[in-house]
Amino acid sequence: MPDDIPTPVPARPEASRPARAAAPLGQRRIDSATLLGPGGELFIDHQQQVYRLRVTSQGKLILTK
C-alpha cells in the first residue's frame, strides 16, 4: 500500500450513538441495568396497584399493570 494513501480509521461505536442528555436540574437519573437488576424486571407498587417494568427481547422497556 503506498504511503500517500491514508489508512481508514474505524469509527468508534460511541460515535454513532446519540449523546446522552443530562438529567434536568433536581431530577434523579439511574441506569436501567441498576434499576432492573440481573433479572431484567422490577415490580412497582403505585397507589395500591402493582406494575411490572421489564426489558423486552428487543432491549426496550415495557411497563404493564
Domain around 36? 28-65
Asked if residue 14 is part of any domain, the answer here is no
Residue 58: per-residue pLDDT: 94
Read off the CATH number of the domain in which 40 is found: 2.10.70.10
13 vs 61: which has the higher pLDDT:
61
Please state the domain count of the chain: 1
Asked if residue 40 is part of any domain, the answer here is yes
Spacing of C-alpha 51 from chain mean position: 20
Digit-coded pLDDT (tens) for 29-53: 899 999 999 999 999 999 999 999 9
- Residue 18 in this model has a pLDDT that exceeds 90: no
Averaged pLDDT for residues 7-16: 57
Q: What is the percentage of the chain residues whose pLDDT exceeds 70?
A: 71
Strands (E), 1-65: 41-46, 49-55, 61-64
Asked if residue 9 is part of any domain, the answer here is no
First to last CA, the chain: 61
Residue 62, classed as helix, strand or coil, is strand
pTM (2 d.p.): 0.60
